[in-house]
Amino acid sequence: MRRYGQNYGGEINLQVVNVVYVAHCLLKNKLTGASNIVDATAGKGKDTLFLAQNSGLDAEIWAFDIQESALDVTKRLLEQHHVSNKVRLILDSHANIHQYIKKPIDIAMFNLGYLPGGSHEVATHSSSTLEAVEQVLRLLNHGGLLSLVAYPGHEEGQRENTLLQQVFSGLPTRCFTVSKWEMINHFNKPPIFYLIEKVRN
């Protein structure tokens, strides 16, 4: 039986299927034609690297984080892979996205919570996350995607997820499709992945 992550050449990549993997799989096709891309939570730069490596040469990527140390790690990772020229690293809250981005957004990624291995005190917060999500939804291009991974396993993450679920489920069907993915046999409130596509202006 073919395992997830095994390519047709027979090379085996033991990729664990988790929310971030699902997000990457669903974004990959659209990335090739995307020109204005946002990573709202750069963290250790893995998502920023994924966006940079899978988008066209002319794509512009904006990566936000409120921690300078996170952006330093992201910068090094991008440099190691020779894609740093496509990425603007912004040391600011994603709640201020509108101050930097004026053009329609093709793809935006949010991977909420705290920096793995970092302080749990510096996590995303429902008020700024909602502000950022609303700004991205307003700027989202026709056919554009907003991908968001929420972590309801901690207290603020649960509040954040409840509010996001309310906002996402209330989006008008005429303009947006909203889907949700989670592991239903995992306990202790596993992460949840949302994908929103703007289908009509």
Least distance (Å) from ligand SAM to the CB of residue 155? Answer: 15
CA distance 189 to 152: 6
Using Cβ positions, the residue closest to ligand SAM within the complex turns out to be 43
Question: Measured from the CB atom, is 59 or 97 closer to ligand SAM?
Answer: 97
Q: Yes or no: say if 13 and 86 are a contact pair by the CB < 8 Å rule.
A: no
Shortest Å distance, C-beta 63 to ligand SAM: 9
78: tokens are 């991008």
Nearest approach, Cβ of residue 201 and ligand SAM (Å): 27
Kindly state the tokens that stand for 96.
């201020």
Give backbone dihedrals phi and psi of 132, rounded to 5 degrees, phi first: -65, -45
User: Is the CB of 11 or the CB of 121 nearer to ligand SAM?
Assistant: 121
**What is the closest distance, in whole angstroms, from the C-beta atom of residue 187 to ligand SAM in the complex?**
21
Nearer Cβ to ligand SAM, position 114 or 168? 114
Nearer CB in complex with ligand SAM: 60/72? 72
Q: How many CA atoms lie within 13 A of 200 on its CB side?
A: 5
**Which residue matches tokens 């592991």?**
183
Give CA–CA dist 137/105, Å, rounded.
9
SS3 87: strand
Minimum CB distance to ligand SAM, residue 173 (Å) = 29
CB closer to ligand SAM out of 113 and 152: 113
Contacting positions for ligand SAM (CB under 6 A): 41-47, 64-67, 70, 93-95, 111, 113-115, 122-124, 128
Separation CA 140–CA 149 (nearest Å) = 18
